[in-house]
Amino acid sequence: MSVVDILLGKPLATSDERAEQIGVSAGIPIFGLDALSSAAYGPEAALTLLIPLGAAGVAYILPVSVSIIVLLTIVYFSYRQTIAAYPGGGGSYTVASENLGTFPGLLAGAALMIDYVLTAAVGISAGVGALVSAVPQLQPHTLGICLAILLVVTIVNLRGVREAGVAFMIPTYAFLGSLLLAILIGVTKTVLAAGHPVPVVAPPVPAAPGAAATVMSAWLLMQVFSNGCTAMTGVEAVSNGVRAFREPTMRNAQRTLTVIIGLLAVLLLGIAYLVRVYGIQATDPGLPGYQSVLSLLVAAVAGRGIFYYFTIGSVLVILSLSANTAFADFPRLCKAVSHDGFLPHSFGFRGRRLVYSQGIYVLAVLTGILLTVFGGVTDRLIPLFAIGAFLAFTLSQAGMVGHWRRVKGRGWVQSMLLNGLGAVATGVTLVVVLVAKFVEGAWISVLLIGGIMFTMIWVRRHYDEVAKEIQHSAPLQVENMGPPIVIVPIQAWTSISERAMQFALTLSPEVHALHIGTDEETNDLQDNWKRLVEDPVAQAGGRPPNLVSLPSPYRLIIMPILQYVLETEAQNPGRQIAVIVPELVERHWYHYPLHNQRAELLKAFLLVKGSRNIVLINVPWYISA
């Protein structure tokens, strides 16, 4: 078994696809990690902006969270309809493209791509950041830990959908179980204490509200809402990956979406309620003594015992692994876009484990670049999450309105109204987020989305031009076909040269052996050329090859060969020029640096500088040593 088989698993046949499909229990960790893990940083992102208001700011978190849950519910019902209408995978790109047109579809696709890259980078960074805050000695190794987790997530996803679900199932359910139990304990204590529970570990004393913050409370509230909306990222994941579910595909996808949204709503509402009744205020991440909101909440509810450390540990793990949702959906999105010709076709090819490997590789590289640029600390990117997500939400729901108007069918009016409500709600939220976060970096997302759209349009234009150029329906033309002029570069007379010359003589009687070298090498080859080549060919009744010797006073090899080929083509318009390149092929990787790679360079230059009349032929010689 090779190292690749150990890391990525043995290749799967296309017929094994059914065995790779998943059910609800595996679908939750695969498609729900992003959404569920946002409960760990969404409320905190909102509470952090309320720090200047002191204790008075905590009162705002519950109504803000309720408004987010209402919006989440609208989006949930809309995406249930999307899954039913597009059982083959109806992500925002597909829905917008089919019902609104190419430009809205590309806009949705670009927005989701930005969202997935940010999700992967910030998720890993948030998990490692929480780990470093618990173990400060690890701070110098922040970037290294981030990249190591990225590598693990990448390898697990390259092993296939089913194995990814199994691998992330235990940490996902440990996170959900511990956090739900903490909420249950906190709510129970609150009820028994008539709404005034006594914290086991008292949270920090809230600061007094600032006057400036009170004046700016309306603007601040809008910013708090936009930060809290980061908790809704990843909601569209299930609709993108419907085909990953086993039969009944649509029902399993809808059930998975229901469970994910239900759990997320409970987590958001429970955290917001307990934060309010326990008077927990966010601490500034940039100051000494920082603790996350969840850390303060669990300590207040259950103390700092085994349960506390288990819960916080599961939060750290799930935050780090939340990038898995991006790795599950980004390749599928790229596949859909490439199918329409707006991305390289290679994004649509499945790898050894029936996953779209190139999308996984690209996401891993982009995430690694982001983590490296920011040194593994990407907190400033969190507010940008909601831009791509809500833009995709809005276009998807607007597309579904067009879908129902076009298809109609049973209950289409009610469905259209529901999707219309979803489009309006998410559209208004998008405007709020854009206004609130534009100066903080939302403008960067706008520019990136525009840049990605421009690139996709350029790719499609290129494919269209190539298709137009190579389109051909006429019968095969066989008139005026003659043998090519064959050019064989030769360094010295060896078994490799002999084989290349033998093949050249089968193609054409007009063969030029081209030698570039020093005077000593050239004289030796010229002195023996008649005996080694010309006489045997003449005796066989053939036309002897012509030896062309070109001096190279500056010891250049590749450029004189290239120049000779181009001059030969110019002197023989309409003739095919066949360049035969003899090449050593090493059987072991460690032999590669022991031999010069002129053949590779020559082929590269010929492909770049050549034309349709120049044909490149490789004659390999496999080394047995």
Could you tell me if 424 and 496 lie in one domain?
Answer: no
Q: In this structure, what CATH number is given to the domain that contains residue 69?
A: 1.20.1740.10
Are 434 and 495 within one domain? no
Same domain membership, residue 452 and residue 590: no
Same domain membership, residue 511 and residue 450: no
Tokens of 499: 């084989």
310 domain-assigned: yes
Domain count, the chain: 2
Tell whether 111 and 233 lie within a shared domain. Answer: yes
Q: What average pLDDT does this structure show over 220-236?
A: 78
The answer to whether 568 and 485 have CB atoms below 8 angstroms apart is: yes
What average pLDDT does the segment 19-30 reach? 86
pLDDT in the model for residue 522:
61
- CA distance readout (Å), 147 to 6, 113, 210, 329: 21, 20, 40, 20
- 473 is a domain residue: no
Q: Is residue 478 part of a domain?
A: no
- Average confidence score pLDDT of the chain: 86
Is residue 445 situated within a structural domain? yes
Residue 227: closest CA among 429, 31, 444: 429
Residue type, 577: I
Tell me, what CATH number does 571's domain have? 3.40.50.620
163 and 233 co-located in one domain: yes
For 256-278, what is each residue's pLDDT tens digit?
999 999 999 999 999 999 999 99
The Cα 42–Cα 264 span in angstroms is 11
pLDDT exceeds cutoff 60 at 149: yes
Q: Does a structural domain hold residue 263?
A: yes
Give the pLDDT score at 457.
96
Which of the four pLDDT bands, split at 50, 70 and 90, describes residue 383? low
Among residues 464, 495, 520, the one where a domain terminates is 464
Token look-up 């997500």 returns 389
Q: What are the CA-CA distances from residue 239 to residues 82, 104, 233, 301, 422 (Å)?
A: 7, 18, 13, 36, 15
- Give residue 526's domain range: 485-622
Is 121 in the same domain as 198? yes
Q: Where are the beta strands (DSSP E) in 366-446?
A: none
How many CB atoms sit inside 10 A of residue 460's CB?
17
Which range is most confident: 128-132, 153-157, 450-454, 589-593?
450-454
User: Higher model confidence: residue 310 or residue 520?
Assistant: 310
Instruction: Give 297 or 292, the one with higher predicted confidence.
Output: 297
Residues 281 and 413 in one domain: yes
Residue 151: predicted pLDDT: 94
Structure tokens that stand for 404 in this block: 């129902």
> Which range has the worst mean pLDDT, 203-212, 263-272, 423-432, 435-444?
203-212
Instruction: Indicate if 454 and 491 belong to the same structural domain.
Output: no
Contact status, residue 619 vs residue 592, Cβ threshold 8 Å: no
Same domain, 374 and 504: no
489 in the same domain as 460: no
d(CA 531, CA 367): 62
Peptide bond into 248 cis (omega under 30): yes
Mean pLDDT, residues 387-402 taken together: 89
**CA pair distance 13, 15, nearest whole angstrom:** 5
pTM value is 0.81
Rounded to a whole number of angstroms, the distance between the first and last alpha carbons of the chain is 24
The amino acid present at 465, given as its one-letter code, is E
DSSP code of residue 247: S
Q: Are residues 416 and 493 in the same domain?
A: no
**208: in domain:** yes
**Cβ neighbours around 539 below 10 Å, total:** 8
**Dist CA 543 CA 439 (whole Å):** 77
Tell me which residue of 83, 103, 78, 81 sits closest to 93, measured CA to CA.
103
Q: By CB neighbour count within 10 A (0-12 exposed, 13-18 middle, 19+ buried), where does 409 fall?
A: exposed
Domain assignment of residue 471, yes or no: no
Beta bridge partners of 579: 487, 616
- What would the mean pLDDT of 567-572 be, rounded to a whole number? 93
Tokens of 315: 């939060």
* Residue 529 domain flag: yes
